[in-house]
């Protein structure tokens, strides 16, 4: 495409014509299915033993939405010109006795699809699709296939490469969140994490846990979720020197992810070590002649979680002083984020007062503050009290105002906060933020429904394996 159009302007039609075909489909038709339909597909996949004793892969695709109550789930807002049917290349791998014996690519072009697996004569123990995590879609399997995958992981996790283990974890979390699977199935499979020492699977765990904990942090299920993962994390902490640099960049990313997950779950060892290392790091802030030997990922964790748990005003002021002096934008952002981790309200008051004096990167400052459950309340009150001034400063049509509302409200989990959001939206002008405001309302309603329906299930699912297996 670049050679054919080296002196031209960007042209999607020319780009697709250069691509030619994707599988059996014209590239233009393939792209249309993905660009002109909102959301993405979820595939329900199973193996069917037909009446002629041949084995087929059965696939049924539909639109993935978090909840059927979604206002954006309505066809009247975002209709589909293709009746929620995507063109999907699907790579699957099939296993017998724990070993991979067949790999096959399928081209899914209809809502219901069936194709012979190889010659159709082999009965497989289990299968996994979307190998190498290359597809932009979600997957679900029958219960017995999930059980077989779980057993294979627990027997020997290397039966799947790290990126496929990451894919399995992602789909388990997504299916549990949307009630396609019970959380118990998720926790039974994740027991294999006791042996997981690769970066990508833990990165996926951290991503989904961060979303869960942002809503559960002050709720009853938090203890069970944190206790469940504590066993895995403590085992890794005892085996791996997480706080010191070493290994290649992927190994350092793995260490960072384990520590981020442990501190996120308020692991006592992680939090105590963060404050212990703060005392070693303090000289680097007070004496510019002292060289900093801490790896960057350790520095960020130490700053964030020490400030979360300290009661010393001097420490917070020291970080703020460093933030005010430093020119490096990346370092300034890290220090700004650390300042918002404090759980002490008077520091958050100071943060907001100084925010009014410096509106540069205003939306980033609000976003960081909103990640702190206590800071979220301050940010929300500040926005409501100063919204007219913000409109005057940034303009009604600045889309960042809508994203700001999403950032602050995305973890709202009570009826009173939902009412406050609704009242704010109905009493202030929309401007360019109408859809963002709808999304904010939708996210809060999903949070409330999820908590109402899933809290007890989460406590039982994360509590039972820990009690029955770990102890």
pLDDT at 69: 64
**What does the pLDDT average to over 48-52?**
85
Mean predicted lDDT score pLDDT of the chain: 91
Task: Report residue 289's pLDDT band, with 50, 70 and 90 as the boundaries.
Answer: low
pLDDT grade for 245, boundaries at 50, 70 and 90: confident
Q: Render pLDDT for 102-145 as a digit per residue (tens, 0 to 9).
A: 999 999 999 999 999 999 999 999 999 999 999 999 999 999 99
Question: What is the per-residue pLDDT for 29?
Answer: 94
Given a cut of 70, whether residue 185 has pLDDT beyond it is: yes
| pLDDT tens track for 415-436 | 999 999 999 999 999 988 888 9
Which pair of structure tokens corresponds to residue 320? Answer: 């703020």
Q: Using alpha carbons only, what angle is made at residue 312 by residues 308 and 315, rounded to the nearest 5 degrees?
A: 75
Position 290 confidence tier, pLDDT thresholds 50, 70, 90: low
pLDDT of residue 155: 86
Residue 72 has pLDDT above 80, yes or no: no
Alpha-carbon distance 435 to 399, whole Å? 10
Residue percentage of the chain with pLDDT more than 70: 96
Which strands, in side-by-side order, build the sheet including 55-64?
A: 112-116, 55-64, 40-49, 138-140
Three-class secondary structure of residue 60 per DSSP: strand
Q: Kindly tell me if the per-residue pLDDT of 292 is higher than 80.
A: no
pLDDT band, very low/low/confident/very high, at 76 (cuts 50, 70, 90): confident
Q: How far is residue 194 CA from its own chain's centroid?
A: 21
CATH of domain 18-196: 2.60.40.1840
Q: Angle formed by the axes of helices 345-357 and 362-370, to 10°? A: 170
Q: What is the pLDDT of residues 439-471, one digit of tens each?
A: 899 999 999 999 999 999 999 999 976 555 554
Neighbours of 28 (CB within 10 A): 16
Tell me the mean pLDDT in the region 276-289. 82
Phi, psi of 113 (to 5 degrees): -140, 140
pLDDT of residue 68: 66
Q: How far apart are CA 175 and CA 189, in angstroms?
A: 13
pLDDT of residue 295: 83
Pick from 154, 227, 267: nearest CA to 458: 227
Could you tell me the pLDDT band of residue 246, with boundaries at 50, 70 and 90?
A: confident
pLDDT of 303 > 60? The answer is yes
Q: At what angle do helices 400-409 and 415-427 cross, to 10 degrees?
A: 170
Q: Taking a C-beta distance cutoff of 8 angstroms, is the pair 184, 147 a contact?
A: no
Listing DSSP states for 86-142 in one string gives --EEEEEEEEETTEEEEEEEEEE-SSEEEEE-TTS-PPPSEEEESGGG--SSEEE--
pLDDT of residue 360: 73
Distance from C-alpha of 221 to C-alpha of 455, rounded to nearest angstrom: 6
Please name the residue ranges forming H helices in 111-220. Answer: 143-155, 162-177, 183-190, 199-216
Domain ranges in the chain? 18-196
pLDDT tens figures, 375-411: 999 999 999 999 999 999 999 999 999 999 999 999 9
Q: What is the CA radius of gyration of the chain?
A: 25
Distance between CA 45 and CA 370 in Å, rounded? 39
Q: Confidence class of residue 296 from pLDDT cuts 50, 70 and 90?
A: confident
Find the range with the poorest average confidence among 340-349, 352-361, 385-394.
352-361
Rounded percentage of the chain residues whose pLDDT exceeds 90: 74
- pLDDT over threshold 90, residue 354: no
Residue 178, both tokens: 């949307």
Q: pLDDT higher for 78 or 170? A: 170
CA distances from 88 to 23, 164, 180, 190, 260 (A): 9, 18, 21, 28, 35
Q: How far is CA 242 from CA 183, 227, 245, in A?
A: 30, 20, 8
């Amino acid at each position: 495409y670049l050679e054919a159009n080296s002196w031209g302007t960007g042209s999607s039609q020319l780009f697709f014509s250069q691509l030619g075909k994707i599988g059996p489909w014209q590239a233009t038709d393939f792209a249309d299915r993905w660009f002109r339909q909102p959301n993405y597909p979820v595939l329900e996949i199973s193996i069917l033993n037909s009446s002629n004793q041949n084995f087929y892969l059965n696939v049924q695709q539909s639109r993935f939405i978090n909840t059927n109550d979604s206002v954006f789930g309505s066809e009247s807002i975002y209709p589909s010109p293709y009746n929620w049917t995507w063109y999907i290349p699907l790579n699957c791998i099939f296993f017998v006795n724990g070993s991979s014996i067949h790999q096959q690519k399928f081209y899914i072009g209809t809502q219901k699809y069936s194709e012979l697996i190889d010659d159709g004569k082999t009965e497989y123990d289990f299968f996994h699709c979307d190998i190498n995590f290359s597809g932009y879609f979600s997957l679900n399997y029958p219960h017995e296939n999930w059980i077989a995958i779980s057993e294979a992981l627990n027997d020997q996790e290397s039966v799947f490469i790290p990126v496929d283990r990451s894919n399995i974890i992602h789909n388990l979390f997504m299916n549990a969140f949307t009630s396609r699977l019970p959380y118990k199935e998720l926790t039974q499979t994740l027991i294999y994490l006791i042996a997981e020492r690769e970066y990508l699977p833990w990165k996926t765990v951290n991503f989904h846990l961060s979303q869960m904990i942002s809503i559960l942090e002050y709720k009853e299920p938090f203890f069970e979720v944190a206790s469940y993962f504590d066993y895995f994390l403590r085992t890794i902490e005892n085996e791996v020197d997480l706080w010191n640099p070493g290994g290649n960049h992927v190994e350092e990313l793995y260490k960072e992810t384990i520590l981020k997950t442990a501190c996120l779950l308020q692991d006592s060892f992680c939090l105590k070590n963060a404050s212990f290392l703060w005392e070693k790091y303090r000289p680097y802030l007070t004496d510019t002649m002292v060289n900093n030997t801490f790896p960057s990922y350790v520095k960020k964790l130490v700053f964030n979680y020490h400030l979360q748990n300290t009661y010393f005003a001097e420490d917070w002021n020291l970080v703020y002083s460093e933030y005010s002096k430093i020119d490096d934008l990346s370092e300034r952002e890290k220090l700004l984020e650390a300042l918002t981790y404090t759980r002490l309200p008077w520091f958050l008051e100071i943060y907001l007062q100084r925010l009014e004096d410096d509106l540069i990167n205003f939306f980033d400052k609000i976003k960081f503050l909103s990640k702190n459950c206590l800071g979220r309340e301050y940010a929300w009150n500040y926005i409501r009290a100063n919204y007219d001034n913000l409109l005057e400063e940034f303009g009604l049509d600045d889309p960042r105002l809508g994203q700001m509302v999403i950032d602050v409200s995305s973890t709202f989990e009570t009826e009173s906060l939902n009412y406050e959001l609704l009242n704010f939206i109905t009493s202030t002008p929309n401007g360019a933020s109408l859809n963002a405001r709808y999304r904010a309302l939708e996210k809060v309603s999903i949070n409330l429904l999820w908590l109402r329906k899933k809290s007890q299930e989460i406590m039982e699912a994360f509590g039972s394996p820990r009690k029955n297996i770990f102890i």
